Amino acid sequence: GGTVFFSLPLPLSSVGSIIERRLDTVRSVCHIAQKRLIACFQGQHGTDPDKRHKKLPLTALAQNMQEGSVQLSDETLLGKMLDTCGDAENKLAMELSQHEVQIEREVLDPLYLLTETEIPNIQKQRKQLSKLVLDWDSARGRYNQAHKTSGTNFQVHPSKIESLKEEMDEAGNKVEQCKDQLAADMYNFVSKEGEYARCFVMLLEAQADYHRKALAVIEKVLPEIQAHQDKWTEKPAFGTPLEEHLKRSGREIAVPIEACVMMLLETGMREEGLFRIAAGASKLKKLKAALDCSTSQLDEFYSDPHAVAGALKSYLRELPEPLMTYSLYEEWTQAANIQDQDKKLQELWRICNRLPKHYHANFRYLIKFLAKLAQNSDVNKMTPSNVAIVLGPNLLWAKNEGSLAEMAAATSVHVVAVIEPIIQHADWFFPGDQDFNVSGAFVAIPAVNSNHLSHTGNEYDSGTLERKRPVSMTVMEGDLLKKESPLLRAGLLRSDLFPPVLLQPEEGSKVMYWYLLPVILYAW
């Protein structure tokens, strides 16, 4: 037999070498991604959905909320909120546990198979090839050595050489087979890269699906929880838009206005300097807080009319839009500059009737009360002019105000010129009696002992305002009656056709007006 030379097995091609290097990189990258993804889990990795659900922080939060709702009872807003939110959080926890199980099945398991089975198998195949190459190289060396010495050493049996040749051939065949298998596995790996990349597409799809389901849970519960919120009437009144407060409370007159007026009718109508003298800060703060939560426990405040008056002023001032509205501000100020008193009254009457419904009702209510307060000006020193000075700036102000001094200088004169005649002629501007207990929620209380009180008895006896036409109206009606006017006999006199003549204020009112001008800073 002739000598047979076998070529050494060549290393993998350059393409194969690139693939081999990528194997290590892919395995490392996917292994790290797998670990980081598991770290994102809130449940215990590898458990079934039920067990995972029980261990989720969201589940603990849901249980805590529902236990809290039981303790608070579902009669309270907070109790209802906790119960509804607890149920929603529990559903979110269930969606999360199912999502994590899906991630394990569709993403982590394939990545684990890639990094722990498929790539290691290829790498083992590469190591096996290296071992087979060494075995084949050793067999080839033995064969060559025997073949070389056979020419000089006749003791070497030909069968021995043949045996070594067969051994070498077999080792070479194993190398070729292993090389083919390794190449096939590597090319197969390359062809399946799209499948491996698909894992990350499925990750995002699973996350999108989870977030859609979680959003559906939240969107379903939001209207319910918002309904609880909207139905709950115990919300702050101070600083809340008038229409919102009235809608929420189902009232015609704002709670702070009616409550303060009813308390002042009981104990404050003869109190000197009402609305001018400052109240104690702590008592005022307490009363505002009580009115904010619509509490009926107001008995203790009846004995401090200055605190009640201060709370009423604060409420009016803290309205986002003044009671006399921003939209009519220019018209009010222009009317204040009208010199002809009859035209001025007629213009003020027209503007009053342009107030929005809820603002008009509350403005009428307040003016009727202030007119009643001014009836006792001989005792409380609060003439229409004085009331307008201290309370007017809380009823009307410009939308864009400057400094306090600018505000007082620019607004006070206009406001006083508007509010004073409206209080003086309250029954002409707002005909008819006013039932101050509009809501029916207030009852008269027995007279209380107070250092503030300068009288005894109940100021609010009949529950209605005594109507008192201005003198100018009385004079005008007298003239009309002499003419036996059928309009007056029928009670159909129209204020827009017969405006009253505004009488000049008494000298004492003028003096008190200038005396109280500094008080305008307190009124704000």
pLDDT of residue 234: 66
The verdict on residue 77 lying in a domain is yes
Q: Are 348 and 456 part of one and the same domain?
A: yes
Q: Are 352 and 452 part of one and the same domain?
A: yes
Number of domains in the chain: 2
pLDDT of residue 274: 92
Q: Which tens digits make up the pLDDT trace of 474-487?
A: 333 333 333 333 33
pTM: 0.55
CA 62 to chain centre: 21
Question: By the 8 A CB rule, do 317 and 524 touch?
Answer: yes
The verdict on residue 153 lying in a domain is yes
Find the mean pLDDT for residues 241-265: 91
Domain span holding position 78: 14-231
Residue 456's CATH number: 1.10.555.10
pLDDT higher than threshold 60 for residue 507: no
The verdict on residue 481 lying in a domain is no
pLDDT of residue 2: 39
pLDDT higher than threshold 90 for residue 46: no
The verdict on residue 19 lying in a domain is yes
How many CA atoms lie less than 13 Å away from 21 in the CB half-sphere? 6
pLDDT of residue 145: 81
pLDDT higher than threshold 60 for residue 10: no
DSSP string, 468-484: ---HHHHHHHHHHHHTT
Among 182, 203, 231, the domain boundary falls at 231
CB atoms within 10 A of CB 332: 22
Q: Are 296 and 227 part of one and the same domain?
A: no
Q: Are 430 and 454 part of one and the same domain?
A: yes
The verdict on residue 412 lying in a domain is yes
Among 181, 200, 231, the domain boundary falls at 231
Q: Are 183 and 270 part of one and the same domain?
A: no
Q: Are 192 and 265 part of one and the same domain?
A: no
- The three-state DSSP-derived secondary structure of 321-379 is CCCCCCCCHHHHHHHHCCCCHHHHHHHHHHHHCCCCHHHHHHHHHHHHHHHHHHCCHHH
pLDDT of residue 118: 83
Q: Which tens digits make up the pLDDT trace of 94-141?
A: 999 999 999 999 999 999 988 888 888 887 888 887 888 888 888 888
pLDDT band at 294 (very low <50, low <70, confident <90, very high): low
Q: Are 284 and 388 part of one and the same domain?
A: yes
Least confident of 22-26, 334-338, 448-452: 448-452
Share of the chain above pLDDT 90, in %: 39
pLDDT of residue 467: 31
The verdict on residue 156 lying in a domain is yes
The verdict on residue 395 lying in a domain is yes
How many CA atoms lie less than 13 Å away from 77 in the CB half-sphere? 11
